[in-house]
Amino acid sequence: MAVAGSAVGLGNFLRFPGKAAENGGGAFMIPYFVALLLLGIPLCWAEWSMGRYGGRKGFNSAPGVFSVIWRHPLSKYLGALALLIPLGVYFYYIVIEAWCLGYAWQYAIGSESLMNGIDPAGYKQHFEQYTGQGSDGALFAGGISQTLIFILITFALNFYLVYRGLSGGIEKFCNIAIPVMAVCAVCVLVRVLTLGTPDPNLVDQNVVNGLGYMWNPQPEALLKPATWLAAAGQIFFTLSVGFGVIINYASYVKPKDDIALSAITASSVNEFFEVCLGGMITLPAAFIFIGATMGTVVAVGSSFSLGFAALPNVFAMMPGGQLFGFLWFFMLFLAAITSSLSMLQPVNAFLKEGLGLDKFKATALLFTVSSVGTLFVVYYSKGLSALDTIDFWAGEFCIVILALVQAIMYGWVLGTARGKAELDNGAQLRVPNFVQFVLKYVTPAYLIAILAGYLFAPSGDGKSSAFFERINDIMKPDNFVQRISILIVLGTLVMLWIMVYFAGRRWEAEGRYSKLDE
Amino acid sequence: MTTGGWIFMTLSISSVLLLVIYTVGKVLLTANKQ
């Protein structure tokens, strides 16, 4: 439950429906399930296996674990990707976490902005104002906004919990909070599925068509490489695979613990929250109240916008809507805080293990770096451009790259025989042998095909690939913030590489590598 | 919603539910054994 608690977060209830809407609903679901079966679950097992293997050899951070598996000076620099992703995602994840807390607060005090009956345009406008989408620096204009206060509270709370080492306590708390959230989500789901046609003037915007938007297969859309990349990225994001979190967490697991069962249980519980609850609530609700143009809400804002814009309409139509609105966003905040705490752990562990910093110094350095990243996202809030750009490069593109690195590392460097032996150690659940074949051949080939399609296959106008279309878009004069966002991600990577260089020298001097040969 | 949509939805949701029931059941049985 603790691992499931960390896995369930904003990816399930906010990012998944947003990504599905952005990629045409039903067009997204086939690549999504293919990615779950061929990438997500197999790589989840691989990551747990590699993490515990590295942990048994005395390393807890991804650069260290990678060094154990591939005894080459470059391996630790590849491991830096597993630090960049959780840190980069944390820059903006914390902001969305704060929106959830802010919305919970507004429901708790009965704010009129969120309790106005059915008012799709009004709630969308409120969300845009609340998140400062009108202009850069909007949250700082005219004094400190409420949003900013909640961001500060959330940021401080995360670091307080990390410093005090209370994340375990929070996870225990989530053993209660996660089932409560499931019950709350089921109540909201029942309300969504019984909405019928709320506006008699818009007969097409009904619940059946909403479900159809999400589930009608669209085979013609399967030719878009960007959709396959988004689906793979979403699977990795939601399962925390290729994220750097599991490899660090698994390194602390005892040799006789059943990691095979832990991995698949966490994945399945997470998928239940995502597919059966998150998607079935937000996407049909957005279709009913916003219509098939909901993709524009995501395109103008971010993948995380849809739930905030659509769900207040649902709560307005529920008996006890204020209570459900409060419970929903507060539970979302709790689910998010376990995830954001787990994002800080990989870098925190590396700073202690690699640079020898004590608890205070490691936390202070992490606080400083993440403050800069988060402040950037908060200030450049126009159209949530900074948030969305970092989400794409760190939370989608880099995740797929790291997943490919890990698949090759597991299948071709560690070897499936050693990997399976590690996975089977202490396991009640025997992972079928064909999974090893999938991990060695299918997963890397699949990821290479997705990346090659995204980078090189003609898209849209038939000339440029989806990747170069994005690059061309970023290079337009108006997109200054997107360019700086990419520099923030690259700058963070360079900073981590420098730290990894010093960590490598330190491990060499301590003789930790030579101990591996004994 | 098309017939294909209904079939896809039913198969997907029931597969996820079966996986959850199997894995959580296995975890509980393992915990009881210990």
Residues in chain A within 8 Å Cβ distance of B23: 261, 264-265, 268-269
**pLDDT of amino acid A283:** 87
pLDDT at residue A204 in the model: 85
What is the nearest CA distance from A431 to chain B, expressed in angstroms?
13
Contact A216 B30 (CB under 8 A): no
Q: Give me A288's structure tokens.
A: 């009913």
A70-124 residue pLDDT tens: 999 999 999 999 999 999 999 999 999 999 999 999 999 999 889 888 888 899 8
What is the distance between the alpha carbons of residues A507 and A237, in angstroms, rounded to a whole number? 31
The shortest CB-CB distance from B16 to any of A29, A275, A428 is to A275
Interface of A with B (CB under 8 A): 26, 29, 33, 208-209, 211-212, 214-217, 258, 261, 264-265, 268-269, 271-272, 275-276, 280, 428-429
| Residue to substitute from A8, A268, A269, A288, interface B, most B β-carbons within 10 A | A268
Cα dist from A360 to A155, A163, A202, A245, whole Å: 17, 7, 58, 21
Helix (H) or strand (E) holding A230: helix A225-239
So what's the pLDDT on residue A24? 81
Q: Give A5-21 pLDDT, tens digit per residue.
A: 667 889 999 899 988 88
**Option in B5, B13, B16 nearest A212 (CB):** B5
For chain B, the first-to-last Cα distance in angstroms comes to 48
Per-residue pLDDT at B30: 83
- Interface contact flag, B16 A271, Cβ < 8 Å: yes
**B12/A215 touch (CB, cutoff 8 Å), yes or no:** yes
User: Rounded to a whole number, what is the distance in Å from the CA of B15 to chain A's nearest CA?
Assistant: 10
Determine which helix (DSSP H) or strand (DSSP E) holds A332, and give its type and residue range.
helix A321-355
- Ranges of residues in chain A with a pLDDT under 70 are 1-6, 166-174, 295, 298-301, 460-462, 518
Q: Are A215 and B9 an interchain contact pair (Cβ–Cβ within 8 Å)?
A: yes
Asked if A103 and A311 touch (Cβ cutoff 8 Å), the reply is: no
For residues A250 and A52, the answer to whether their CB atoms sit within 8 Å is: yes
Query: CB–CB of B12 and A216 under 8 A?
Result: no
Residue A132 pLDDT = 93
Residue A484 tokens, joined: 């700086």
Rounded CA-CA distance B26/B34 in Å is 12
- Mark out the alpha helices in A380-479 (DSSP H runs): 385-392, 398-408, 416-424, 434-437, 443-456, 466-474
**Mutate which: B3, B8, B17, B34, vs A, most A CBs within 10 A:** B8
Residue of A283, A182, A279, A187 lying closest to A238 (CA atoms)? A279
Amino acid code (one letter) for A378: V
Kindly tell me the sign of the dihedral angle through the C-alpha atoms of A195, A198, A200, A206.
Answer: negative
User: Are the beta carbons of B9 and A258 separated by less than 8 Å?
Assistant: no
For residue B8, the chain A residues in CB contact (below 8 A) are 26, 29, 215-217
Q: What is the pLDDT of residue A3?
A: 64
* Closest Cα in chain A, distance from residue B28 (Å): 11
